Copies of this chain bind each other. A is one copy, B any other.
Amino acid sequence: MSGGIRLRLSASHNSRRHIVIIGGGFGGLACARALGDSDVDVTLIDRRNHNLFQPLLYQVATAALSPADISEPIRRSLGRYRNIRVLMAEVVGVDSGAKRVRLADAGEVAYDQLVIATGSQYNYFGHDDWQFHAPGLKSIHEARQIRQRLLLAFEKAELAHTEREKQSLLTSIVIGGGPTGVEMAGAISELGRYMISRDYRALAPNQMRVILLEAGPGILASFPQHLSSYAANYLQRIGVEIRLGQRVSAVGGGHVIVGDERIDAGCIVWGAGVKASPAFAWLGMKEPPGGRIPVDADLQVVGLSDIYAIGDTAMALDAEGKPLPALAQVAKQQGEFLGRKLRKGGPQASFRFRNRGNTAVIGRHAAVFDFGSWTLKGRLAWLLWALVHVYLLVNLEKRVLVTIQWIWRYLTRQRGARIIDEDASLIGDQKDVSRMIGLSRRR
């Protein structure tokens, strides 16, 4: 069963090196590109067929963009390099002795060098059952789940029989005050108030609540204090209730428990911390802190030869011995560095991270930038945020499409993708929906 693939992929019976990359996100793709048209064979394996520009995923969740605007088939991104193969398959293990990657249902792939770039996932701190009730923002499916629930809650509120029911449905809870949580809270508040005032007859904008729950003492903790304060003030001005130092003790269908308080909500979003993908288990490792695989300065996995790890799934240290943050730009730079290094097969070199600036967008005219030595906030930061993010999109077509939609959005405040799909998987079955969004037949 395994023979076919392995033979076909590992060698055209020549002596070219074969590099296998697991994961087609920022890191894996950058690594593959840096190896494009070289004299090594490359196989990139991902369980998705597309890469995803995650920084804009919150705009899919809030009906501003379509999934296709921010994603591209990995095949297409790499199609021009004849030395690169792409496989859509699920990795289930790595045999580091025999140098093989095991795929679910599709045999094995032999490698000479292996790059692990499998990213991170949301951390529910042991409560994986919360995930269905409070999706994070890691995949198109989750973004569509959130969009579906948000829009459906408004529709149900328009039909609600009691004020209490309406109030629950019009409440959204965002758990976690990092960049994703801040972006989501701001976008939901703006979307909701606009939709209500324009398109709903039985609802009033002031009936809507957006609650941002943060366990720590402030939001945007990775940013300088004055930017966090600015963000908090701005969010409050556009109607977001920020609750600090509040730890969620339970998440259920349509409600969150904080301390003794139960808050009913039509839509719950999870943005409270990530952990690395469980790639360490493939290597037979004991779980490292945060799941991140320790790597040397040249990104080689500590203690294993010919296996490298990059991006969120790797624990790399900077010159001062501090862990590098789990950011797209770290993954991308590591991928480029490693690709160039593996291409030449040359001597050891040390990866050095160059900080291009950290950013979060808060609302229609507000964003923050932290460039280390200087910072930027407000309308200018917002404009810069938009320019940078359009520039980072995958190709000219997407850039043009997103630009047009943003300009349209800006001028009209309309959202282009307010579609509720007839798709049970997004919301559970009809009974689940009623339960989830708190339709109060039982009360």
Please list the residues of chain A having a beta carbon within 8 angstroms of any beta carbon in chain B.
1, 4-5, 8, 47-50, 66-69, 71-73, 75-76, 79, 85-89, 105-107, 139-141, 144, 151-152, 155, 158-159, 161, 195, 198-202, 397-398, 400-401, 404-405, 408, 412, 414, 416-426, 434, 439, 441
Quick one: closest B residue to A80, CB to CB?
B198
CB distance from A16 to the nearest CB of B (A): 15
CB-CB under 8 A for A69 and B67, given A159-B106, A414-B76, A422-B141: no
Which residues in B have their C-beta under 8 angstroms from that of A441? 105
CB-CB under 8 A for A159 and B421, given A79-B198, A199-B73, A201-B85: no
CA A405 to CA B434, docked complex, whole Å: 38
A-B contact pairs, 20 of them (CB 8 A): A1-B161, A8-B202, A48-B422, A49-B152, A66-B67, A67-B419, A71-B419, A73-B419, A75-B200, A76-B198, A88-B159, A89-B159, A139-B422, A140-B419, A141-B423, A397-B404, A397-B416, A398-B416, A400-B404, A425-B425
User: In the complex the two chains form, is A49's CB within 8 Å of B141's CB?
Assistant: no
Quick one: closest B residue to A396, CB to CB?
B408
User: In the complex the two chains form, is B421's CB within 8 Å of A88's CB?
Assistant: no
Partner of A67 from B5, B195, B421 at Cβ < 8 Å: B421
CA A198 to CA B81, docked complex, whole Å: 10
Partner of A418 from B73, B158, B418, B434 at Cβ < 8 Å: B73
CA A158 to CA B85, docked complex, whole Å: 10
Quick one: closest B residue to A1, CB to CB?
B161
CB distance from A161 to the nearest CB of B (A): 5
Partner of A405 from B8, B72, B397 at Cβ < 8 Å: B397
User: In the complex the two chains form, is B200's CB within 8 Å of A49's CB?
Assistant: no
Which residues in B have their C-beta under 8 angstroms from that of A5? 159, 161
Quick one: closest B residue to A417, CB to CB?
B68
Which residues in B have their C-beta under 8 angstroms from that of A423? 141, 144, 423, 425-426
CB distance from A69 to the nearest CB of B (A): 7
Quick one: closest B residue to A78, CB to CB?
B199
Which residues in B have their C-beta under 8 angstroms from that of A398? 416
CA A159 to CA B139, docked complex, whole Å: 24
User: In the complex the two chains form, is B49's CB within 8 Å of A151's CB?
Assistant: yes
User: In the complex the two chains form, is B48's CB within 8 Å of A140's CB?
Assistant: no
Quick one: closest B residue to A66, CB to CB?
B66
Shortest 8 CB-CB contacts between residues of A and residues of B:
A425-B425, A68-B417, A66-B66, A75-B199, A88-B155, A49-B420, A73-B418, A79-B199
Which residues in B have their C-beta under 8 angstroms from that of A144? 421, 423
User: In the complex the two chains form, is A419's CB within 8 Å of B68's CB?
Assistant: yes
Which residues in B have their C-beta under 8 angstroms from that of A140? 419, 421-422
CA A25 to CA B342, docked complex, whole Å: 57
CA A144 to CA B141, docked complex, whole Å: 12
Which residues in B have their C-beta under 8 angstroms from that of A1? 161
Quick one: closest B residue to A63, CB to CB?
B68
Of listed A72, A195, A419, residue having the most chain B CB within 10 A: A419
Quick one: closest B residue to A77, CB to CB?
B199
CB distance from A252 to the nearest CB of B (A): 21
Which residues in B have their C-beta under 8 angstroms from that of A85? 201
Quick one: closest B residue to A43, CB to CB?
B201
CB distance from A73 to the nearest CB of B (A): 4
CB distance from A1 to the nearest CB of B (A): 7
User: In the complex the two chains form, is B88's CB within 8 Å of A420's CB?
Assistant: yes
Which residues in B have their C-beta under 8 angstroms from that of A76? 198-199, 414, 418
Quick one: closest B residue to A73, CB to CB?
B418
Which residues in B have their C-beta under 8 angstroms from that of A420? 48-50, 88
CB distance from A253 to the nearest CB of B (A): 17
User: In the complex the two chains form, is A68's CB within 8 Å of B416's CB?
Assistant: yes
Which residues in B have their C-beta under 8 angstroms from that of A419? 49-50, 67-68, 71, 73, 140
CA A164 to CA B424, docked complex, whole Å: 34
Which residues in B have their C-beta under 8 angstroms from that of A159? 5, 87-89, 106
Which residues in B have their C-beta under 8 angstroms from that of A79? 198-199
